[in-house]
Amino acid sequence: MTALPCSHSEADFKHDYVRLNGQRIHVVTAGVGRPVLLIPGWPQTWYAWRHVMRALAARGFQAIAVDPPGTGFSSRPDAGYDTGAAAAVLHRVMVRLGHARYPVVGHDVGMWLAYALASDHPGVVSRLALTEAVIPGLAPAPSIFAPPEENIFLWHFMFNQLADLPETLIAGRERAYLDFMFQRWSWRRDRVAAEVYIDAYSSPGGLRGGFAYYRAIPETIRQNQRRAQSKLTMPVLAIGAEHATGKAPLDTMRGQADDLRGVVIPDCGHFIMEEAADEFIAELLPFLESED
């Protein structure tokens, strides 16, 4: 993989690997203080959180961004991509780092994992911030005849679940495939570190590791139908982007949490932590700082 862009601020990030049952999870930390777990989505890596990490570190938090199993610099196991299994791995990472209770922030597929972690480990997640996704099994299944302006955010769900065909068509053309996503899903394309992510998912096993979360959707749906029987008790913040999911994250969580609030960030696309970093941080920090 290409070396990551490095400024003075990024040089202060600490990279570590937590080894669990023969696999390694790449963990990047910044700052000292109360821990906050940051989970990125597809097709990004921990690097999507770089602006948020600096802001958290400056306000007395320890920002802990991970590459979930199968992504970035983490191992690419053959199984374990349903949200229950992957969330359990991330909780074990936090325990290994010495954190028994912590807030969680998840974006895109990371939102799926964050919800599973909060639901499956009651008492562990103190606050939950979710952004830019709907959750399989909680949100209604979309129509296959969705209008084009909606389908641009939906078509990949079925394609990425197919066995073998996506890798067959995309291998050697990762840039074209992923650049299509970054171009169509973003509103401020110049702010998205697409080259970092394209490089990560072009590495051996990168495509498979990303698609595996989509291929596990049937099992994740089964788990989420069970999870939905009990509401989350910690405060939940749902953040959408004006030119992407909008109110969908909030609507997905309605009836799933006792304490739910939501906001839509204007003038922003799907890659919200990069495209509208200041606005996103302005919503996230007060939410985290209000923790008792």
Give the mean pLDDT of 32-43.
98
Percent of the chain with pLDDT over 70: 96
pLDDT grade, residue 291 (50/70/90)? Answer: confident
Of 7-21, 84-98, 151-165, 232-246, the range with the lowest mean pLDDT is: 7-21
Q: Is the pLDDT of residue 4 over 50?
A: no
Predicted local distance difference test score (pLDDT) of residue 3: 37
Predicted local distance difference test score (pLDDT) of residue 2: 37
Q: Is the pLDDT of residue 12 over 90?
A: no
Predicted local distance difference test score (pLDDT) of residue 8: 38
Q: Considering the chain, what is the average pLDDT of its residues?
A: 95
- Which tens digits make up the pLDDT trace of 87-138? 999 999 999 999 999 999 999 999 999 999 999 998 999 999 999 999 999 9
Whole-number Å distance between alpha carbons of 169 and 173: 8
- Which tens digits make up the pLDDT trace of 198-225? 999 999 999 999 999 999 999 999 999 9
Give the mean pLDDT of 48-72.
98
Predicted local distance difference test score (pLDDT) of residue 10: 65
Q: Is the pLDDT of residue 45 over 50?
A: yes
Q: Is the pLDDT of residue 1 over 70?
A: no
Whole-number Å distance between alpha carbons of 22 and 38: 23
CB 153 within 8 A of CB 207: no
pLDDT grade, residue 11 (50/70/90)? Answer: low
